[in-house]
Amino acid sequence: MSALTTSEGRPSINRSTGFSFVEVLIALLIIIISVVTLMNFLMTALRVEDSASAISEDLLVKSGKLEEGEGNSKQATVTIGDIDIPGVIHEIGYGKTKQLIEFKRSGQ
Amino acid sequence: MNRKSGVILGIALIIFLVISIIGAALMTVVMGKARQTNDLEKRTQAYFFARSGVEIAREYVNEKRKNDEQFFDEKVIVLHGNISSENNGELSFDFQDVTDVWPKDNVRASFEASASSFRNNEIVTAVWRDNEYTNFLSSGNAGDMTRTLAFMCSEGSAGIPVFDMAIFADGKISIGSAQKVYGNVGTNSTITKGKNRAITIRGNNKITEGDVYFGNGANIDGMKAGDFTRDGTLCTLDSNRDYALLLPDFPETPELINKDDLEVDQDVSVNADGYYKKITVGNRKTLTFDTGNAENVRKIVVDEFEFGSDSSIKLSGEGKLNLYVGVFITTGNSSISINKEGDRKEIDRVVLYYSGNSLENVDLDLIGTFFIEGASDITLGQGNNELRVSGLIIYAGESDVTMKGIPETHTVALFAPKAKVIMSGNASFYGAIVCNEYSANGNPDVYYRSAEEIFSDTSLEIIDGDGEEAFELWGE
């Protein structure tokens, strides 16, 4: 006999088959939380990737400029024992707040 | 119990697990990228620290070698410090002499082995010399990243300016009381006081339109420019000028085809290189050398060159003439002109090499370059039996070069770094003198003319004052 018919031959609904409301609710909750978290991960990843690419690109451009002596410069003297070496510290910013520095002696 | 109850939770958890795995993988990739960028930043900064180390060390070597040229010949020095923590532009570096612990033939291994002990320094640079080259190994430390550059160089030299002063002497310069000097006067001597003072100007005379240079390191404090020059300044040379080193070697006589003695008793033209035991040019006769096309250098070697009165050597063609003369033979009224109608700028058109012992009574009029190996009795001027050279005179000997009476020389660059130049009477000199010592009596005049402006570029290449070329080699 089919599970969907009574002893009298009438069709009946088995209430214990399928998923309970609580089950569906919990499953939905888990899936929603997972998806939202994944989306957050995805957004963060995209942001980090974008930022890292921008920094790398900027770094390459700015390091080339620094090699050519561009950027802010300020006078500096390196003292080694009794010898003073006058020169300039070149600073060039990259990314949002970072900077590269290099010392170059004067009078080349 | 229904077998399907709880299945959806299982599926949901599996989905959660998959999503977590995807998320974790994504984060790993992203964190890897971020770490890569971070490493790139540190590597780049480390590279600039290493370069800065080379810059600092190069200047340190230069400064040390100014006082003691051999300082680095046996030493291995390590310099280390930080440049990002500067205090109002003041940076302090330390140095260590590691000569005893780092073998000079394997500094790299020692440098790498000691890297950890210098981790706290942004810059660590080892310096040592190897033959004529200075070697640098420079590490830059940024965070946990280190980059090391190897650099090798010879600094070269700036060269010595030639003919930039009216009179330059290695030693003493004595200016006459009535002499006029228009141009700079300089000496290598650093003696500023006493009888042997480097520059003496007799009477109340002064140099006109020129500065006065004492040797590098001379103490000129308290000395007044007005005692030496009317409108110039008193200063010291930036460095010693060793012009004797610039003297070109007197060339070997080229091996040429032997020719019969040539007697010019009618105008003659020679159009081939050759070696002559003797050439005689008769009174008022002309010997023409056909120099061929512009790239050609006609070479003539003559052991004995005899000439009569008013004889001449002319050039035809577009090429140049190198004339190697063993000795000039003169009679009482001999005089010869060489390339007298030539271009006064092209002083390399004729180069006369003279290896004889004396130039006494040689009455020669030359437009070109006269390279005298060591002859004595060199007298420049307009009078009889004197040398009237318009161009460059190079004298490698040590005898005196004189200008006396009332001669007026053409524009001449006189390069005689081992000789004493003596001017007297009313002699006038237009050009630049480089000599060992200079002395003047009476009222001879010197008017500075820039050889580089007057002569063509290639004409002065025979004297190489350009210095040594710097050499640099970078590696990582």
Reported as a single tens digit per residue, the pLDDT across A57-80 is 999 999 999 988 888 888 999 999
Average pLDDT on B204-212 reads 86
ipTM exceeds 0.85: no
At B458, the pLDDT band (50, 70, 90 cuts) reads low
Q: Which residues contact B437 (CB under 8 A, 6 or more apart)?
A: B169, B170, B171, B172, B173, B420, B421
Which tens digits make up the pLDDT trace of B275-323?
999 999 988 999 999 999 888 999 999 999 998 888 999 999 999 999 9
Between B395 and B203, where is the model more confident?
A: B395
For residues B220 and B123, membership in a common domain is answered with no
Residue B1 within a domain: no
> Could you say which of B137, B156, B175 is where a domain stops?
B156
* Chain A residue whose CA is closest to B78: A80
Q: Indicate yes or no: CB of A85 within 8 angstroms of CB of B4.
A: no
Residue B5, pLDDT above cutoff 70: no
In a domain, B346, yes or no: yes
Q: Tell me what percent of the residues of chain B surpass a pLDDT of 90.
A: 32
Average pLDDT, chain B: 85
Please give the average per-residue pLDDT across B210-235, as a whole number.
88
| B313 and B220 assigned to the same domain | yes
Are B229 and B350 within one domain? yes
pLDDT for B471 beyond 80: no
In a domain? residue B468: no
Residue located via tokens 């010997």: B287
Q: Does B44 map to a domain?
A: yes
B199/B379 Cα distance (integer angstroms)? 24
Q: Is B21 helix (H, G, I), strand (E, B) or coil?
A: helix
B412 and B388 belong to one structural domain: yes
Q: Of the candidates B156, B189, B218, which is a domain's last residue?
A: B156
pLDDT tens, position by position, B438-456 = 998 878 888 898 877 777 7
Number of compact structural domains in chain B: 2
Burial of B375 (C-beta count, 10 Å sphere; 0-12/13-18/19+): buried
**Could you tell me if B143 and B239 lie in one domain?**
no
Is pLDDT of B273 > 90?
yes
Percent of chain B with pLDDT over 70: 92
B83, B91 in Cβ contact below 8 A?
Answer: yes
B80 shares its domain with B222? no
Over residues B397-409, the mean pLDDT reads 76
Beta-carbon-side half-sphere exposure of residue B80 (alpha carbons within 13 Å): 20
In a domain, B470, yes or no: no
Establish if B322 belongs to a structural domain: yes
Q: Does residue B469 lie in a domain region?
A: no
Shortest distance between the Cα of A23 and any Cα of chain B, in A, equals 6
Are B109 and B177 in a shared domain?
no
Same domain assignment for residues B273 and B391: yes
Per residue in A7-53, pLDDT (tens digit) is 455 555 555 566 778 888 888 888 898 889 889 888 988 888 898 99
**Chains A & B: contacts with CB separation below 8 Å:** 137
Report CB contact under 8 Å: B12, A26. Answer: yes
For B164-181, what is each residue's pLDDT tens digit? 899 999 999 998 888 889
Average pLDDT on B145-157 reads: 83
> Residue B49: its chain A contacts at CB < 8 A?
102
Which chain A residues are Cβ-neighbours of B31 within 8 angstroms?
Answer: 48
DSSP, residue by residue, B285-345: -EEEEE--STT-EEEEEEEEEEE-TTEEEEEESSSEEEEEEEEEEE-TT--EEESTTS-TT
Q: Which segment, B144-148, B159-163, B216-220, is predicted with the most confidence on average?
A: B144-148
Residue B475 within a domain: no
**Final residue of a structural domain among B108, B127, B156:** B156
A18 contacts in B (CB within 8 Å)? 4
Report CB contact under 8 Å: A77, B89. Answer: yes
Span of A46-55, B51-60, B361-370, B446-455 with lowest mean pLDDT? B446-455
Which span out of A10-19, B85-94, B162-171, B400-409 was modeled with the highest average pLDDT? B162-171
Are residues B299 and B439 part of one domain? yes
Is the domain of B263 the same as that of B360?
Answer: yes
Residues B195 and B96 in one domain: no
pLDDT at B158: 59
Its domain, for residue B89, covers 11-156
- Residues from chain A that touch B84, judged by Cβ atoms under 8 A, are 101
Alpha carbon of B221 to those of B204, B218, B233, B417: distances in Å?
A: 21, 9, 13, 28
Same domain, B268 and B243: yes
Q: Using the beta-carbon criterion (under 8 Å), do A105 and B30 form an inter-chain contact?
A: no
